[in-house]
A = this chain, B = another copy of it.
Amino acid sequence: MYKKLVVVMSILLFISCNEVPTNTINVEDIQQLNSAIEGAKPGDEIVLANGIWKDVQIKFIGKGTKEQPIILRAETAGKVFIEGISNLEFGGEYLEVSGLYFRNGHTPTKNVIAFRISPDQVANNCRVTNCVILDFNQLQRDNDDLWVQFFGKHNQLDHCYIAGKTNGGPTVRVDLKGNQSIRNYHQIVNNHFGPRPRKGGARGETIQLGSSFTSMSPSNTVIANNLFEECNGEVEVISSKTNFNEIKNNVFYMSEGSVVTRHGNYCVIDGNYFIGDGKNENIGGIRIINTGHSIVNNYFYNLIGENFRSPLAVMNGIPKSPLNRYNQVTDIIVAYNTYVNCKSPWQFGVGTNIAQKDVLPLSEIRSARPLRSVVANNVIYNKVGDTEPIIEHDKADGVLFKSNIINNQGVAFKDEERITPSSFELTQVADYIFLPIGISNEIEPYNGYGFEAISEDLFGNSRANSNSIGATIQTEAKDPSILDKKKYGASWYSNEKPAYEAVTFEVTNATDLTAKLTEARAGDIISLSEGQFVVSKSLVINKSITIQSSSNKKAEIVFEGANNTPLFELNPYGILTFKNVVLSGNGTQQAFASLKENMSNHFGLFVSGCEISNFNYVLKAYKQTFAEEISFTNSAISNCENGIELSEETNDKGDYNVEYLTIDNCRFINVKSNIVDYYRGGYDESTIGGNLLVSNSTFENCGAKEVTNILLNTRGIVNVAIENNVFKNNRVKLVALLWGAKNNSHSNNKVQNSGKILVEENLKMKLMY
């Protein structure tokens, strides 16, 4: 009898202790939400009604418990839209937000989601899950903000989809200023970081962990199981700037940047996938600065980046570096990684700039080579042999190489002491995933100091009993489904758009052109009939659209709009493909121009087969505007005052107005100022930017009024190629002034009566930091 009683009592006790009474509070507007938050107790669930919540600044302050958090969620996940001037801040303990969709707006503060209310009121053990932040950009690029900013400790961002940031500032940042935020163990897990467009300058990281000013602090932040898809904001996808962070089991897919241990030490980069396309040199791998990092169990596929963007870039440091510059690399471990079809995957002494010592202060000279570091137990496979699997920009004499092998298809290379040639083969286990087979007995794994921590392989198999070199031990491997997007981000959101069949609008007059431009959807085509279109007001381009002549005979647009207005006004998202049309103005207007301000998203321009004449500017891009690509091909430009104007980013902070500018097979006649004015200012090797190709074109009688006396002005642009052009009778001193130390080149140009092409090895630039 007693026994039974005890059992019953135990059960009762168990229930009473584990029961989590939930109190649901439905709210329909910010006032109701505020009072619900004010009264919330552990276990409460505040439910936001579906619909658009405009201009709401939510301060989620409360104190839940581990067992009974306070929850703030969408009535239906994904159906609560946070729009307008809105944001969300946390203060307290055990608070959780889910199901919100931030879009069509921006934050009034410096962050969309912040894990604090004030320095004295931070969040601990709080969570954002199953939310989306999309294109929630400030109107101006230089208005920096952060979309998620961590403070406090033990906070979590998981299962969110975050994409489309164009303005300055990392998408996510962990802040460590103050003892309230160190040893934070924040979790950034299972998210889908969707495309972040190229920003055109610095401050475009997807995740930044601390800053140089807190680089001495232990952060212990975990970034795991996320998908980074086309995170192209800048040269760093993840910038780890504090200590003891873990970057684990993430997929970096076609992302133009690297995981960089920019500051701080003892970062673990373990079991990640870096997937490239074998063509795009901007897709990076892992770049190492500082001390004590472990780069283990990673898989690199089809990466062809060089230098800063190489699969493994080990930098030179500045001796006794200032706090915010480049410390020497010491005590790093690069072990058990697999490289498949990567070009020169290991690069050492990256960033050495001893040659620039005449234009840089001593405190900028990276001459300190890596010390006490080990590269061991790695496997390299090249479908096509690589004569330089290791590139030493400066000597790697402080690095110990042990038990590395390569299948180089028998092609000779000079580092056989460091990497042993082998003839193992690969087996494909999934798209992009090829694993070495038959290397079990090939070579004994090296066991260095600190290697005991590498207990598992890429897939989580134990290395204890059947260890082998490379990212995976030699066992049956299953498809890791790294690109199964259901594993990442918000459950209710997918960035995979159904295929759209473009509609073609046939247009016969200017009124119709304007109307159809409004009516058309992104991707549609507007086809101009033969004849003249007299346009009297700017045409707004605010989506991807193609405008072209419908027949072989080019349509002709005559612009009669006001002075200093553009024929095509390029708005945010406005990407114009313009083909086979004749354009003319009255000499005072712009053929193409961005908005002067509020360019909250990028524009783009592709002009081909056109004839453009009598404009003040062919293209005018204003400050804080950005295009990923602009091209002029097979076109003739004549009798304009100015050419292609992309020179307003004079803050010398590394910004510029276009990533890729291409001029091919064009003819410029009588453009009175310079043809191209393309500027990027500020010296720091990590801001790698601007690309100009000018090829197969003719330039005649241009530059007569150009005050700089340079026809193609590219000051500060890192990648410039001028090839196979003819320059004739242009009244300038220089066709171009190129930056020899960077990737600037010229070849096979004919220059007659047009000054010359000058190469200056080292340009003196303003230091950015």
* Contacts from A to B (Cβ < 8 Å): 177-180, 182, 212-213, 216-218, 243, 265-266, 290-292, 320-325, 327, 330-331, 333, 363, 372, 448-450
Contacts and interface: CB of A to CB of B under 8 A. Distances in A.
Nearest to A178: B372
Nearest to A119: B372
A216 B292 contact: yes
Most chain B beta-carbon contacts within 10 A, residue among A216, A217, A448, A449: A216
Given A265-B216, A292-B179, A320 B324 contact: yes
Contact of A449 (B178, B292, B450): B178
Contacts of A448: 179
Contact of A323 (B265, B320, B450): B320
30 contacts: A177-B330, A177-B331, A177-B372, A178-B331, A178-B372, A179-B331, A179-B333, A179-B372, A179-B448, A179-B449, A182-B292, A182-B331, A213-B330, A216-B216, A216-B265, A216-B290, A216-B291, A216-B327, A217-B265, A217-B291, A217-B292, A217-B331, A218-B266, A320-B322, A321-B322, A321-B323, A322-B322, A322-B323, A322-B363, A323-B327
A302 B331 CA distance: 45
A649 B712 CA distance: 62
Tell me how many chains of this kind the complex includes: 2
A179 B216 contact: no
Contacts of A182: 292, 331
A449 B182 CA distance: 10
A331 B331 CA distance: 27
Instruction: State the 4 A-B residue pairs at the shortest beta-carbon distance, nearest first.
Output: A179-B449, A179-B450, A180-B449, A320-B323
Contacts of A450: 179
A327 B330 CA distance: 20
A305 to B, nearest CB: 27
A321 B291 CA distance: 18
A388 to B, nearest CB: 29
A729 to B, nearest CB: 51
Contacts of A265: 216-217
Contacts of A217: 265, 291-292, 331
Nearest to A317: B323
A213 B325 CA distance: 15
Given A182-B292, A217-B292, A323-B327, 14 more contacts: A177-B330, A179-B292, A179-B333, A179-B450, A182-B331, A213-B330, A216-B265, A216-B292, A217-B291, A320-B324, A320-B325, A322-B322, A322-B363, A363-B363
A291 B213 CA distance: 10
Contacts of A291: 216-217
Nearest to A215: B216
A324 B320 CA distance: 6
A414 to B, nearest CB: 27
Nearest to A291: B216
Contacts of A322: 320-323, 363
A281 to B, nearest CB: 32
Contacts of A333: 179
Nearest to A323: B320
Contacts of A292: 179, 182, 216-217
A555 B747 CA distance: 97
A323 to B, nearest CB: 4
Most chain B beta-carbon contacts within 10 A, residue among A243, A265, A323, A448: A323
Contacts of A363: 322, 363
Nearest to A327: B323
A218 B213 CA distance: 18
A768 to B, nearest CB: 13
A695 to B, nearest CB: 43
Contacts of A325: 320
A290 to B, nearest CB: 7
A372 B217 CA distance: 14
Nearest to A153: B449
Nearest to A294: B179
Contacts of A243: 216
Nearest to A363: B363
A322 B212 CA distance: 12
A225 to B, nearest CB: 27
A747 B67 CA distance: 75
A493 B213 CA distance: 49
A180 B216 CA distance: 21
Nearest to A244: B218
Contacts of A320: 212, 322-325
A363 B363 CA distance: 10
Contacts of A323: 320-322, 327
A328 to B, nearest CB: 8
A365 B218 CA distance: 27
Most chain B beta-carbon contacts within 10 A, residue among A213, A331, A372: A331
A266 B214 CA distance: 12
A468 to B, nearest CB: 22
A423 to B, nearest CB: 32
A177 B398 CA distance: 13
A322 B327 CA distance: 10
Nearest to A319: B323
A180 B333 CA distance: 12
Contacts of A290: 216
Contacts of A213: 330
A217 B293 CA distance: 11
A233 B656 CA distance: 57
Nearest to A324: B320
A217 B327 CA distance: 13
Contacts of A212: 320
A178 B323 CA distance: 22
Contacts of A178: 331, 372, 449
Contacts of A179: 292, 331, 333, 372, 448-450
Contacts of A372: 177-179
Most chain B beta-carbon contacts within 10 A, residue among A179, A322, A330, A448: A179
A245 B266 CA distance: 17
A265 B330 CA distance: 19
A321 B215 CA distance: 12
A538 to B, nearest CB: 47
